[in-house]
Amino acid sequence: MKEVLTEKLQLVFSHNIERAHLVSSRESNKKSKPNTVVCKLYDWKEKDYIVRQARKLKPRGIFVNEEFAEETVKMRKEQLPKLKAARE
């Protein structure tokens, strides 16, 4: 994981990864999509830096985003109609 982040995001890697693991399902393997890798970092500032760097460089071949708790996703989904109405 450190090697990928160093090469693709041009990070000088001193970040501490607490845990990294593959998330795979039978469906994703059938479609020959790349596996999803979940990383947990010790510090939220490091995570924020990695996500910002990925948005800035838009590396080819990887997609970096934050994973939110189910409750957070549900609350945001419920608020979506209000957001759209406010934008209009």
Tokens 């209009």: give the residue: 88
pLDDT score at 82: 93
Pick the closest to residue 15 from 25, 6, 27 (CA basis). 6
In this structure, the strands spanning 17-23 and 36-41 are antiparallel
Q: With a threshold of 0.75, does the pTM exceed it?
A: no
Per-residue confidence of the chain (88 residues) as pLDDT tens digits? 888 888 888 887 666 888 888 876 655 555 667 778 888 888 888 888 888 888 888 888 888 888 888 898 899 999 999 999 999 9
Tokens 């934050």: give the residue: 66
Q: Tell me the sheet residues that pair with 85.
A: none
pLDDT score at 70: 87
